[in-house]
Structure 1
């Protein structure tokens, strides 16, 4: 068996071979979820989850600091430009769905 690696490809530390960051694992781990429950949630092995938990324990201050930054960014919401794009795309989709409904009738 190979050791599970935690790597950083520029998105923060993640479990090698996945796109699951240690911050994903941290949320569930700090909420008290078991290793096996976390593994099931993310379709990971218990060893992969344990590697992330071990990484978190070894780098706790850094993980907590970066996680706080992530939560702060999420709390800011989308910029006006992004919200405008979302609204335009939503309107286009509704128009297409309306036209498709007319074609089917």
Structure 2
């Protein structure tokens, strides 16, 4: 016969008392809106450079394809390597690419 678990026996984990979860939650609160502000800025830049709506759609496609392709391989990599290191290098590479874009904009190289 199967065991029956009553409501009193269920384990409740206070996730907000876990330091690592709180740090991840706070960083996600700041990182996610920043990414969407970047997307809005990139779209605005694209529309200010050219009024061609085709390029506007290609911007969304270019932003979506790497995410779709790397979802499965990202899971495999996350199973084999330290997740903290993966997140650090992911955010660092995104910051460097955005910095390169800012430099290109400031020097009128776009």
Q: Same fold (TM over 0.5)?
A: no
Task: Judging by fraction of residues, say which structure has more helix.
Answer: 2
TM-score (norm 2): 0.27
The structure with the larger Rg is 2
Task: Judging by fraction of residues, say which structure has more strand.
Answer: 1
TM-score (norm 1): 0.28
